[in-house]
Amino acid sequence: MILALARELPGLAPVERIRAIRAALAGEIVFTTSFGLEDQVLTHLVVESGAKIAFATLDTGRLFPETHALWAETEALYGIKVFAYTPRHEAVEDYIAESGINGFYASLEARKACCQIRKVEPLSRALKGAAGWITGLRADQSPARSDTPFAEESAQYGLVKLNPLLDFSREDALAFAKTHNVPINPLHASGFLSIGCAPCTRAIQPGEPERAGRWWWEDEAKKECGLHVGPDGKFVRPEPRKEAFA
């Protein structure tokens, strides 16, 4: 099924990709949105498709005000509810007590620990029991994402991970949003192409890659928050089980 989906999705129109995903999976499907450009396009497509798919977001406690405003606007426009998963308050309190309010600047380990508390652990709750996980990953976002498949088995979360906009360029996403009046974060127009937590995001400079503004003080090759990578910081690419291809 996974291999069949990976082969089928590229040949379908974007909205039909959502319908094909829903038809292929029997259990709950969760779309996790960060309200970035791609995620806003996906929200529009999910609503247009009529597919029963749950909307979830990770409210880290340190998002931009503009992101929260777009969240409210998106719910009102599309008549949907985006369920928020927040970090465990005890974990946040312990982290701040040990590392300080902005301790993530001190080291890669400290930053990953913050992401683990604010994003990775809440994601595990958002995906608990789900059969499928829809993401806004695009192959051209970074070299690490360039060989991502449209559909893959995620041993990390025990479900099928689906990337229906994988072959979209940023220009494709922008054009779709403009044509379909999809609301997008106003920070994009100010050079914030990839938007996460406010302390860890800056506008990019001319000529910089799209994700250069995320964790800009770190090695470019290591800049992932942990949602799509394993403990070694690399994209998870497990060997699919044979039955997954049935």
pLDDT in tens, 155-208: 999 999 999 999 999 999 999 999 999 999 999 999 999 999 999 999 999 999
Is 197 among the catalytic positions? no
Check residue 229 and give left, alpha or beta (phi > 0: left; psi -120 to 50: alpha): beta
Q: Say if residues 40 and 182 touch (Cβ distance below 8 Å).
A: yes
Q: What is the pLDDT of residue 224?
A: 55
Q: Say if residues 239 and 3 touch (Cβ distance below 8 Å).
A: no
pLDDT cut 90: percent of the chain above it:
81
Tokens found for residue 96 = 């701040």
CA distance 148 to 142: 11
Q: Say if residues 36 and 168 touch (Cβ distance below 8 Å).
A: no
CA atoms within 13 A on the CB side of 25: 29
Q: What is the pLDDT of residue 227?
A: 60
Q: For strand 159-162 and strand 132-134, is the pairing parallel, antiparallel, or unpaired?
A: parallel
Q: What is the pLDDT of residue 142?
A: 59
CA distance 207 to 18: 33
Catalytic residue among 114, 197, 200, 225: 225
In the numeric block, the tokens 């979209």 are attached to: 168
Q: What CATH number has the domain spanning 2-245?
A: 3.40.50.620
pTM of the model: 0.88
Domain boundaries, the chain: 2-245
Tell me how far apart the 2 most distant CA atoms of the chain are, in Å.
51
